[in-house]
Structure 1
Amino acid sequence: MSSQERILTIFIRLLQGDTLSKVDLMKEFQKNGSTIQRDIAIIDELLHKLNSKLPISKFSPFKELGEINRSKRGYYQLTEFKERSYMDDYELFMIFKVLFASRGFHKHDLEKIYHKLFTSVDDKSIMDKLLANERFYYDGVPETDIYPSLKLLVQAMLNQQMVEFTYTKNGETKVFKRQPIDIYFSDLYFFMISAKHTAKDDTDFNELNKFRINNMKKIKVLNERQSLDYTNRFQGGILRNQTALPFFGEPITLIIDFYYDPVYVLDRFPNSVIKQVNKDGSHRIEIPANNGYGVKMWLLEQGSHVKVISPKYMQQYLVDNMKKTLSYYDINLNE
């Protein structure tokens, strides 16, 4: 092996995040310590040149390779670069937990992602033990791989192309033609979005603007293109803060009295504010929400923990649904 090949090999390993030992390098390449030190000095000089020539941009801090860390005598590592570029085992552990909890992937899709991430794990034995139970019992919602469909839709979205597909809901199947403007994940599902977050949602099957990707079949990308008005863009960040479940709606200020720990409301709706503590111990909370089905479902889930103050039509929605539920048990409130 030539000196250039040796230096390149060492450099690549440093970029991979490896911690290199001078003694191990001496044994591997059959070179003395001074030769290895010269190799490291050459790499040091190259790093300095590369860092100084990087174009300035918002990504500059992430592109910098940093300097070789020699804090531990006889060892070399690009510590700063590794910390910026690679996730440690604890960060990977958090990602794995979120992936399993989502149930949004077919098991085959999840396994591919799992193995790609797992190659970056340092202590593979420990990580495997920590995740073994959830991995074994994982049961994703999609019945088939969604990756091919998702990739196709993202490409169509970037090219502003229309797509045609069949979609089934409540036993009814129709052919739709829509332009994907975003991909959104929430509550078990990846959705293809074709309208802004305040559009009609689930009121008329023919007017759907939100489609579960795992339920879209026979997807075809069409040559038809349509430019989009920026003001009518879908804003997933706003929607996620306004509703507990993925349903569109017009923005409202929802005011409730909550008869349990208010943290469950504050965590669910990050822009909500406690306005007062009532005499009965409940909390009056003001929530920037929307009037979609997702908020209505969340309110119904709270049962006796919540009282809607306003809007009045949201209050009436809860009352009507509670009466209907009681009728299933032959309970007549008029008796």
Structure 2
Amino acid sequence: MDEQQSKSLRILSLYERLCQGDTILKKEEAVRFGVNEKTIQRDIDELRTYIANNFEASMVLEYDRKKNGYVLRRNENIWLTNEEILVLAKVLLESRAFQKAEMDQLLDKLILQSQPENRRFIQEVIRNERFHYVPVQHNQSLINMIWDLSYAVRTKRVTIIDYQKEGNDSPVKRKLKPVGIVFSEYYFYLVAFLIDYDFSFPTIYRMDRIVDYCITDERFKVDYKNRFEEGEFRKRVQFMYAGELMKITFRFWGPSLQAILDRLPTAKIIAKDEQSVTIEAEVYGRGIKMWLLSQAQYLEVLKPEEFRNEMRETIEKMLKNYK
């Protein structure tokens, strides 16, 4: 091996170990590679120049006096901190959205972004949750599908899916204009407009029930003023039930007003007395009924009248179950 090859391999080795969080000690590296310390210093200087030119303020190679060696510092305003990595790991585990193998892979990669001396701590903190992790029942691999259908959304490509409805023997074929992908309570959903139907609101498809999909070369147009916005949609939908947009008004006198306002991002308090508050909110579809019923005796729907009557009828049917 000539001198240039030796130098290249030496610098690559130093850089790889720096990225892994190792501390580079000149004396040890000189012994490791059979060169003098000045040679290692020149390698470090070249690495410092390379990092400064290519990573700007995101990373810096500097001497750590406490460790008596060189370390790679990452700007915490750009890179994930150890605390942030732990929080994300907790959120991932709580989602239950991925197969066990996929979850393990995501967690391993995430933890590798932390500083080496903190990896064991993060692993210990999540060890029990990770050991007892139970994914949702569908056990489908979704990561590649999410990427592919996100591409279809971004490029506005007509997509054909085979969708297996729960309780059906065979899947149905649907031709769609995909407009968004959202995650809610364990599941990923594709939000799309059916091409063969003139609905003013989108249809929601659970992605684990998509048996097959084909992203075509056909494009669809979206009026910018009326474009679908996932964030705004997510504020107004409960349990991912689609439907017409409606405005509801209800009285609430339960123990946690904050929980109500957190659950309904569009909620506004429009009146208040000593016993209750009156809340108004914009919501899509009928999923809101399921959530309102979960509040038991602490809530009364006031408007719209049709929806109030529907709530009353549902409660009467529920009462019959207990006779």
- Give the TM interval when normalised to the shorter protein: 0.7 to 0.9
Question: Quick one: distance in 2 between partners of 1:6 and 1:170?
Answer: 58
The 1:251/1:9 distance shift into structure 2, 3 A limit, reads farther
Structure 1 counterpart of 2:156, from 151, 155, 160: 160
SS in 1 for 2:178: coil
Partner residue, 2:263: 268
1:106–1:143 Cα contact (<8 Å) kept: yes
2:100–2:135 Cα contact (<8 Å) kept: yes
Offset at residue 12 of structure 1 (A) = 4.4
Question: Quick one: distance in 1 between partners of 2:34 and 2:77?
Answer: 33
Q: AA paired with 2:128?
A: N
Question: Quick one: distance in 2 between partners of 1:251 and 1:26?
Answer: 72
The 1:85/1:316 distance shift into structure 2, 3 A limit, reads same
Partner residue, 1:147: 143
Q: AA paired with 1:321?
A: T
The 1:254/1:33 distance shift into structure 2, 3 A limit, reads farther
The 1:180/1:32 distance shift into structure 2, 3 A limit, reads same
Q: Which moved more, 1:21-30 or 1:235-244?
A: 21-30
1:289–1:295 Cα contact (<8 Å) kept: no
Structure 2 counterpart of 1:294, from 283, 287, 290: 287
The 1:322/1:24 distance shift into structure 2, 3 A limit, reads farther
Partner residue, 2:218: 224
The 1:274/1:76 distance shift into structure 2, 3 A limit, reads farther
SS in 2 for 1:184: strand
The number of residues matched between the two structures is: 308
TM-score of the superposed pair, with normalisation by structure 1: 0.77
CA deviations on 1:274-302 (whole Å, 9 max, x unpaired) are 4555222x3x1534331422222211111
Offset at residue 80 of structure 1 (A) = 3.5
Structure 2 counterpart of 1:75, from 69, 90, 100: 69
RMSD: 3.1
Q: Higher strand share goes to which structure?
A: 2
CA deviations on 1:188-215 (whole Å, 9 max, x unpaired) are 211111139xx666xxxxxx72111110
Question: Quick one: distance in 2 between partners of 1:222 and 1:50?
Answer: 38
SS in 1 for 2:63: coil
Give the 5 Å matches for 1:198-213: 209-213=203-207
Q: AA paired with 2:214?
A: K
Partner residue, 1:57: none
Q: AA paired with 1:164?
A: I
Partner residue, 1:180: 178
1:166–1:219 Cα contact (<8 Å) kept: yes
Offset at residue 217 of structure 1 (A) = 1.2
CA deviations on 1:83-103 (whole Å, 9 max, x unpaired) are 355434432222222122112
CA deviations on 1:218-271 (whole Å, 9 max, x unpaired) are 323334332333333321211222344323441526443232121111222345
The 1:75/1:277 distance shift into structure 2, 3 A limit, reads farther
User: Mind listing any 5+ residue stretches in structure 1 that lack a counterpart?
Assistant: 52-62, 202-207, 331-335
Give the 5 Å matches for 1:106-121: 106-121=99-114
Offset at residue 111 of structure 1 (A) = 3.0
Question: Quick one: distance in 2 between partners of 1:27 and 1:305?
Answer: 74
Question: Quick one: distance in 1 between partners of 2:60 and 2:159?
Answer: 49
Question: Quick one: distance in 1 between partners of 2:271 and 2:23?
Answer: 56
1:103–1:141 Cα contact (<8 Å) kept: no
The 1:200/1:171 distance shift into structure 2, 3 A limit, reads farther
Offset at residue 3 of structure 1 (A) = 4.1
User: Mind listing any 5+ residue stretches in structure 2 that lack a counterpart?
Assistant: none
SS in 1 for 2:188: strand
1:187–1:246 Cα contact (<8 Å) kept: no
Partner residue, 1:245: 239
Partner residue, 2:227: 233
Partner residue, 2:190: 192
Partner residue, 1:129: 124
TM-score of the superposed pair, with normalisation by structure 2: 0.79
Question: Quick one: distance in 1 between partners of 2:145 and 2:267?
Answer: 36
Q: AA paired with 1:141?
A: Q
SS in 2 for 1:67: strand
The 1:246/1:8 distance shift into structure 2, 3 A limit, reads same
The 1:104/1:67 distance shift into structure 2, 3 A limit, reads closer
Question: Quick one: distance in 2 between partners of 1:194 and 1:271?
Answer: 22
Question: Quick one: distance in 1 between partners of 2:44 and 2:102?
Answer: 41
